[in-house]
Amino acid sequence: MREIQLLVLVLSGLVGAQQQALMDYLERRLLAIEPLKSCFCLFLHRQDRISLWHEQTSRYASELREFKQQMVAQLEGLDKNKEALRSELDTVGTRVDRVEREMDYLETQNGAQPCVDVDDKLVEQQVTVVKERNKAKYAKLTDCSDMISSIKAMKILKRVGGTKGMWTKDLAGNNGKVFILNGTDEDTVYEFGTVREFTSSQGTSGATSIQLPSAWRGMGHAIYSNQLYYLKQGEEMKLIKYDLQKNIVVDTAVFPVKNQLPVYSLNPETFIDLAVDEEGLWAIYATQENERYISLAKIDPKTLDIQQMWDTPCVRENAEAAFVICGTVYVVYNSKLPSRSRIQCVFDVSDMITNDDAPHVYFPKRYGTHTSLKYSPVEQLLYAWDDGYQILYKLQMKKKLEV
């Protein structure tokens, strides 16, 4: 598409200003890939790739210079011979295409890293930078290596609320509180002191109501260390970090990914599913760029910054929910006519388990489909919402290496 636009630009009219714009554009591209080098160096040990990088960059610089000279020469001869000019410009156009394509390639090949601690300029380029993101090695924060082997027990606690919603404990495990977020676009959180208080009360009576400053969107919220993380209702993908004790918004951030899609086809209200595991906070999301599949990002719970991103091999079609355990995403599938939910795709950021050796865990048959599944790393429980029922699943774990 861009190649075609460029070619049109080269051939049409040859107005000086356009020429200049094209050259400026190409130069900007070149400058844009330049700072990636610093980032690249942080992560690569292999000297040979670095020198290859230098070589490629300088080759593009000289190609561009040459191209520029040609353009200037052609501009001068513009009045003399229009026909000859046209055919020459065809050649130039083709070359611009090639330079463009190779630059695209270079950017995706070498811009693989989640540039931590690098220049602000890079933030703008994040979308490009992460194209080849799966190649960067993930540095684990914990030594956890558990993976799910089966569902040991299931307990239905109560039915409060509508078909869709989410319930959870504080997933950092620092208090026993239980939170109910009923519906897909509400702004009132119900808080119970303990699970017992929750199960023994009538509906939401006995709960503390917390009024949020804005409505949430979907069912992908997470509560971690007294902070509620949620996607704000609206077109813009804005994450809110809300302190449930102080009742204030602590931070907000626009999720820096364009053209987002619902993550799970069976629960189209959820655009970002926030998950907590032993490693911290994650965002499960999807974009038009990779529209059949689910993507994953590691989030800094303090600042809401994205630290690293991955494309997973897990499809969105017939997915109902997902959760993360020790850096492995488990995607749960069902069918449009609800049957048994099952884990049918896994993605491990540290590559210890592949989709082939992952256990296909089936959930006990229930009512409809899960609208949310929240993993509590402290308790190794899943907090599930199914057709208004609040369900707990106790997980049986094994070590990843024992696969």
Smallest distance, ligand NAG to C-beta of residue 371, A: 11
Residue 217's nearest CA partner among 180, 187, 251, 242 is 187
Radius of gyration of the chain (CA): 26
Residue nearest to ligand NAG (CB): 162
Smallest distance, ligand NAG to C-beta of residue 198, A: 12
Smallest distance, ligand NAG to C-beta of residue 203, A: 6
List of residues 6+ apart from 32 with CB closer than 8 A: 107, 125
Q: Could you say whether residue 268 binds ligand NAG (CB under 6 A)?
A: no
Smallest distance, ligand NAG to C-beta of residue 18, A: 54
User: Which residue's CB is nearer to ligand NAG, number 161 or number 220?
Assistant: 161
Q: Could you say whether residue 206 binds ligand NAG (CB under 6 A)?
A: no
CB 201 within 8 A of CB 190: no
Q: Could you say whether residue 204 binds ligand NAG (CB under 6 A)?
A: yes
Structure tokens at 380: 């190794």
Smallest distance, ligand NAG to C-beta of residue 3, A: 48
Chosen residue from 13, 203, 234, 364 binding ligand NAG by CB under 6 A: 203
Smallest distance, ligand NAG to C-beta of residue 389, A: 13
Which residues in 153-182 contact ligand NAG (CB under 6 A)?
Answer: 160-162, 182
List of residues 6+ apart from 301 with CB closer than 8 A: 224, 225, 227, 229, 241, 280, 281
Q: Could you say whether residue 256 binds ligand NAG (CB under 6 A)?
A: no
How many residues line the site for ligand NAG (CB under 6 A)?
A: 7
Smallest distance, ligand NAG to C-beta of residue 209, A: 10
User: Which residue's CB is nearer to ligand NAG, number 190 or number 285?
Assistant: 190
User: Which residue's CB is nearer to ligand NAG, number 77 or number 162?
Assistant: 162
User: Which residue's CB is nearer to ligand NAG, number 187 or number 379?
Assistant: 187
User: Which residue's CB is nearer to ligand NAG, number 270 or number 295?
Assistant: 270
Structure tokens at 236: 């813009």
Residue with tokens 């290859």: 52
Q: Pairing relation of β-strands 146-159 and 248-254? A: unpaired
CB 312 within 8 A of CB 294: yes
Tell me, residue by residue from 117 to 156, as one string, x for binding to ligand NAG by CB under 6 A and - for no binding: ----------------------------------------
Neighbour count for residue 222 (Cβ, 10 Å): 24
- Report DSSP letters for 139-182, one per residue: --SS---EEEEEEEEEEEEEE-S-SSEEEEE-TT-SS--EEEEE
User: Which residue's CB is nearer to ligand NAG, number 215 or number 403?
Assistant: 215
Q: State the amino acid at position 199 in one-letter form.
A: T
Residue with tokens 């296909």: 360
Smallest distance, ligand NAG to C-beta of residue 199, A: 15
Q: How far, CA to CA in Å, does 316 sit from each of 9, 255, 313, 334?
A: 39, 19, 10, 11
Q: Could you say whether residue 301 binds ligand NAG (CB under 6 A)?
A: no
DSSP bridge pairs for 300: none
Q: Could you say whether residue 183 binds ligand NAG (CB under 6 A)?
A: yes
List of residues 6+ apart from 154 with CB closer than 8 A: 363, 364, 391, 392, 393, 394
User: Which residue's CB is nearer to ligand NAG, number 215 or number 250?
Assistant: 215
The residues of the shown chain that bind ligand NAG, judged by CB under 6 A, are: 160-162, 182-183, 203-204
